[in-house]
Structure 1
Amino acid sequence: MNEYGSFRFLHLGSDERAQPCLRPRARRRELQWYGGWSPPRPRWAAAWRSPVRRAAPARRPPSPYRPSSSATPTPPTTASPPLNHEDSPQVFCFQAKENYPAVATRRLADKGVTLDVQSDVSCGGALVRHFWEKQELPFNLGEVPPQQDALKPDTQLVVGSLGGNTVGFNRILKQCSAKLRGDEGVLLPGTPVDEDVPAATCGEFFTSGDGKQWLDRQFEEVGWELEELLDRIGYFSPDAKRVLAGYPRLVPADTAKCRTAAPGQTELPFADIPQDALPVLDQIQKRLDDVMKKAVADAEGGADFVDLYAHTGGNTACDGADRGIGGLLEPSLVKLGDTTLPWYLHPNEKGRDIQATQVADKVKAILSR
């Protein structure tokens, strides 16, 4: 959705050749970040290694994967320049150098928690299944390996966020916005769930009939695949503490605030999405959070959840100068050539900093217990 649509995957860890230089420090944390975004996840995974390596439990590998979503990955519009991998096709992952994992790592360092960042494998538009499958880059420019390839047997902490892209948040937005179905949505991949149903009726569409059935199937798939993801982390990194980060809130409790454009903007935060559809979008986001929480609660061996939704009610897309979410058609800081990409409801810099604080606090608490 906003990583999100995908959670953004960041893997903070080193490859096997780099391990010897880590041995002198007994408990230096090494992080791994993973995820995809499309309102943004982004998200983050971290890992640290302990000096003593326990044997992995005798477990069978997880099944290859459950049925995958047909949703098109959403464009990575949460990034702010400069970007990583600027000299390779992987730049189209739109991975910002100053993304929230980087900010969270610094904030943890300020609190006395040193994280040795091994790698960042986050990539815009990632679906949950791209944790174990290759992800194709836009414009047929190649592919990136499965995010799970960054995991090591002695990884100790993994943090990330995925799910929004698999739900198909970009398709939901196009179902609800006539503008996104036209020229203003050409940079947002995907199609409406049902092009024959007018955008003006999307609230009703997703609460009854075919639209509701489609959502039910999407959420069932997300639940299966998040369980698979957490199981795979446990299999490949048996000692790892697993942390799944939710998504920041998009729609405020008082949707009347969404009738006013943000300072300096001419478009409303949700552009032409009907006012009566905004509570429906909020319910969809809440449902995604519930699915993520359930996957965490059901994870064998335990896992933790970062509830960003609960901490961002005053920083939604409709909160004016306090917004942590860029408006649907508000220009972002990312350009493709001479074209500026809209935020498409991804976190802006304020939102990034809020995410970083919440994730850093959760990680510190986990490492302290």
Structure 2
Amino acid sequence: MSTTMRTTKTSLTRRAAAAAVALGSCLALASPATGAGAAAPADPVPTVFFGDSYTANYGIAPHNLDEQKRAFCFQSKENYPAVATRSLAEKGITLTTQADVSCGGALAHHFWTEHETFPVSGSSDFTVAAQQEALKPDTELVVGSMGGNTAGFVNILKQCSDKLRSGEHGLLPGAPVDADQPAATCAEFFTSGDGKEWLGYRIEQAGEHLEELLDRAGYFAPDAQRVLVGYPRLVPADTTKCMTAAPGETELPFADVPADALPVLDQVQRRLNDVMKMAVADAETNAAFVDLYSVTGANTACDGADRGIGGLLETSQAELFGTKLPWYAHPNIKGRDLQAQHVATTIEAVLNR
């Protein structure tokens, strides 16, 4: 592990003490507003949605092909921002979407730097602007999910799967952390030595970048409520459920990822969820966190007919050059609806408070 990596690390404990007190109120925002005084905003709320493939809802058709530059963002026209917006409208809360700049493959730093969505092209034709450019002084609500790619979740999956390392899945961004280490030993790799150190660095980097993201959102949209949306749970508490294919499927939910690596994947998600909470707690005001991990334990990729996550190699609705693409462990329709439900509940709460 490089000296630069070691010296750039800072301890998460400096935030933990302050976060511990703030987390309770932060998480409470995931429940509907209560009290007789709560009332829906009288005027439309100018809103910007940002984020990665979980906000864009990769895999759910139809995809937004209105702009060539954004073609490889795989942003669904029926993503959770669209569904949550309709749900809120039924309650008399109108969101005016100034922009939805969510884009598959985005890292947290793409909030303030441009994003090349199709790296093999080397062309500016597929480079999208920094997501913060969509914010305006009159933006009143900023909502989205970021951090999973910064934490390196795709790299972790590729470290643990020979099938994902194959050329067949070359369009899935990212590479294994150490291609010289067999996929079968990935659990040991991420719990000791360089793999453990790499993982700790990436999780901490995700937390720091999310803090900056929320700060920047507050700077460019000073009056906006900021809602950071967590990630739905992928691996259940009972990982033996992952040893059975979903109805109608032949591949296991996590394909060839070793059984002993599944608890490691879940632990990575828990750690990412914690730093997302901390980033929101550090923001102190006008910020809320949607803790999807804690409410989707019965809808993981391994929950059969109730799964809210498409299996790693289960065919999705996404298509590229006439070929259907796998879900790569993204929310399916049920999962999208769960995202939208909890996001709408939190938005209602923050706008009514």
TM (normalized to structure 1)? 0.81
SS at match of 1:164: coil
2:265 corresponds in structure 1 to 281
Please point out which of 248, 252, 265 is paired with 2:232. Answer: 248
User: 1:253: Cα distance to partner?
Assistant: 0.6
1:262–1:318 CA contact under 8 A, matched in 2: yes
Please point out which of 103, 110, 122 is paired with 2:90. Answer: 110
SS at match of 1:295: helix
2:114 aligned with 1:134, yes or no? yes
Cα distance in 1 between the residues matched to 2:286 and 2:87 = 25
2:311 aligned with 1:318, yes or no? no
2:171 aligned with 1:167, yes or no? no
2:44 corresponds in structure 1 to 28
Structure 2 letter corresponding to 1:161: S
1:360 corresponds in structure 2 to 344
Structure 1 letter corresponding to 2:158: K
Q: Deviations over 1:18-51 (max 9, x none)?
A: xxxxxxx9622122101112xx2x26xxxxxxxx
User: 1:88: Cα distance to partner?
Assistant: 2.0
2:193 aligned with 1:213, yes or no? no
Structure 2 letter corresponding to 1:111: K
Percent of aligned pairs with the same residue? Answer: 65
User: 1:365: Cα distance to partner?
Assistant: 0.9
Q: Which runs of 5+ in 1 are unaligned?
A: 1-24, 44-76
2:158 aligned with 1:178, yes or no? no
Structure 1 moving runs of 4+ over 4 Å: none
2:137 aligned with 1:153, yes or no? yes
1:231–1:300 CA contact under 8 A, matched in 2: no
Please point out which of 215, 218, 221 is paired with 1:231. Answer: 215
Q: Deviations over 1:47-77 (max 9, x none)?
A: xxxxxxxxxxxxxxxxxxxxxxxxxxxxxx7
Cα distance in 2 between the residues matched to 1:186 and 1:135 = 19
Structure 1 letter corresponding to 2:135: L
User: 1:81: Cα distance to partner?
Assistant: 2.0
Cα distance in 1 between the residues matched to 2:221 and 2:94 = 20
2:314 corresponds in structure 1 to 330
SS at match of 2:96: strand
2:278 aligned with 1:294, yes or no? yes
2:241 aligned with 1:257, yes or no? yes
2:288 aligned with 1:308, yes or no? no
SS at match of 1:166: coil
2:19 corresponds in structure 1 to none
- In structure 2, relative to structure 1, the CA distance for the partners of 1:292 and 1:30 (3 Å cut) is same
User: 1:301: Cα distance to partner?
Assistant: 2.9
User: 1:93: Cα distance to partner?
Assistant: 1.0
1:296–1:302 CA contact under 8 A, matched in 2: no
TM (normalized to structure 2)? 0.84
- In structure 2, relative to structure 1, the CA distance for the partners of 1:266 and 1:184 (3 Å cut) is farther
Cα distance in 1 between the residues matched to 2:193 and 2:143 = 37
1:80–1:333 CA contact under 8 A, matched in 2: yes
- In structure 2, relative to structure 1, the CA distance for the partners of 1:179 and 1:79 (3 Å cut) is closer
SS at match of 1:334: strand
1:79–1:99 CA contact under 8 A, matched in 2: no
1:95 corresponds in structure 2 to 75
Cα distance in 2 between the residues matched to 1:304 and 1:189 = 29
Structure 1 letter corresponding to 2:99: S
SS at match of 2:149: helix
RMSD: 1.5
2:68–2:126 CA contact under 8 A, matched in 1: no
User: 1:150: Cα distance to partner?
Assistant: 1.0
- In structure 2, relative to structure 1, the CA distance for the partners of 1:367 and 1:26 (3 Å cut) is closer
